[in-house]
Amino acid sequence: MARMSESMTTVETAGDNPTITLRPKPRSAPIDKLGRKLHDLRISVTDRCNFRCKYCMPKEIFGAAYKFMPREMVMSFEEIARAANIFVQLGVRKLRLTGGEPLVRKGVEELVERLTAIRAPNDEPVDIAMTTNGSILDKKAKALAKAGLKRITVHLDAIDDTIFKFMNDVDWPVAKVLAGIEAARAEGMHPIKVNTVIKRSNNVGEILPVVRHFRGTGITPRFIEFMDVGNTNGWSMEEVVPGDEVISIIQKEFPLVRLDPTSAGETAQRWGFADSNGNWDPKLGEVGVICSVTHPFCSQCNRARLSSDGRVYLCLFATTGYDVRMMMRQGASDEEIKAKIESFWSARTDRYSELRSSLTPEIRARRHKIEMSYIGG
């Protein structure tokens, strides 16, 4: 087989009738004004969730009278897969399904199957992952694994059942989420990560119980600083438990060793559990902290976000998005959509977390950020 890379032409020379396949020439991933290359895409498949976590969808706002998106506004699986494929042709190599809660979207395993079929221009598969609250993961794990999902992250804000029910505010038992994590592990999903958002007045006492539960299991707990995403979660700096403090709490019981990032743009600081000689013991696993407030990582941010109604946002703290669903429904070609994405990524200057401390409370209050349940965490 001969390959002519300049035109991305493949010639099959076996037999008397060679087959010529034309493939599009790979294009370089767009680079923004701060030198950040597009690499990750987070896809919100629904704005709905069956939890009412106080830091994301507080019941006071997202109650029974709240109007979620009508069905016709939500992107179809075909539209999501098309958008994802366009982003992959532009350099994206990681796709993460989020919500809302992605598992409440009927037939979401069909979407997983569509996404796992996407290939990069070099014919390599794309990394597919999902973030979920784990509430119905025990029922969905087998179908998701069969569809091709290998990596999953589960939100779990406490091991104590009373605290967990207080945090999710719908009286959901922690045992159901733990059963979902075990179901995912039984289906061979790896790695499995557990994300815990820490609010000082709610669950700071759950840091060590979460670590004790998962240490040595091959599952990685990660602790997230309470962030001022959206406008409804009552954020205040007094409720933020800095990642440095989290690590200090863990080290009082378990010695830790700082580990290198696994990839460019990784959001979590990695710490490994140490053995008696002070070296990382991989059998004991690791723990992570995500310090968007106290140690911003905007300079390494390489991710875009696709909302469930098809708008692309360039920052978790964004105020506006770019409507690619509308372009699709108006008949735009893939090349036209690619050009549009390249243009707004190339003009990107977002770095809210780095600027947060310089903004007055009044300015922050006037900045109408998109809600986490809409844009995906």
Burial label for 278, CB within 10 Å (0-12, 13-18, 19+), is exposed
Residue 359's alpha-carbon distances to 21, 233, 255, 313, 350, in angstroms, are: 54, 18, 37, 21, 14
Give the global pTM.
Answer: 0.88
What value does the mean pLDDT take over residues 7-22?
47
Q: Taking the domains of the chain in order of start, what are their residue ranges?
A: 37-375
Residues 131/195, Cβ–Cβ less than 8 Å: yes
Residues 335/85, Cβ–Cβ less than 8 Å: no
Using CA atoms, how far apart are residues 271 and 257, in angstroms rounded to an integer?
5
Using CA atoms, how far apart are residues 167 and 156, in angstroms rounded to an integer?
9
Task: Scan for tokens 């977390």, then name that residue.
Answer: 353
pLDDT band at 12 (very low <50, low <70, confident <90, very high): very low
What value does the mean pLDDT take over residues 156-176?
98
Q: Strands 269-273 and 286-290, how do they pair?
A: antiparallel
Q: What does the DSSP 8-state code read for residue 87?
A: H
- Name the average pLDDT for the chain: 90
Give the CA dihedral 361, 363, 367, 373, nearest 10 degrees: -10
Task: Please give the pLDDT value at position 368.
Answer: 65
- The CATH label, of 3.20.20.70, 3.30.420.40, 3.30.750.80, 3.40.190.10, for the domain at 37-375 is 3.20.20.70
Using CA atoms, how far apart are residues 250 and 139, in angstroms rounded to an integer?
33
SS3 per-residue string spanning 325-372? HHHHHCCCCHHHHHHHHHHHHHCCCCCHHHHHHHCCHHHHHHCCCCCH
Enter the tokens of residue 57.
Answer: 């969808």
Task: Please give the pLDDT value at position 21.
Answer: 46
Give which of 354, 353, 342 is closest to 31, Cα–Cα: 342
Percent of the chain with pLDDT over 70: 88
Of residues 318 and 78, more confidently modeled: 78
What value does the mean pLDDT take over residues 253-263?
94
Of residues 359 and 132, more confidently modeled: 132
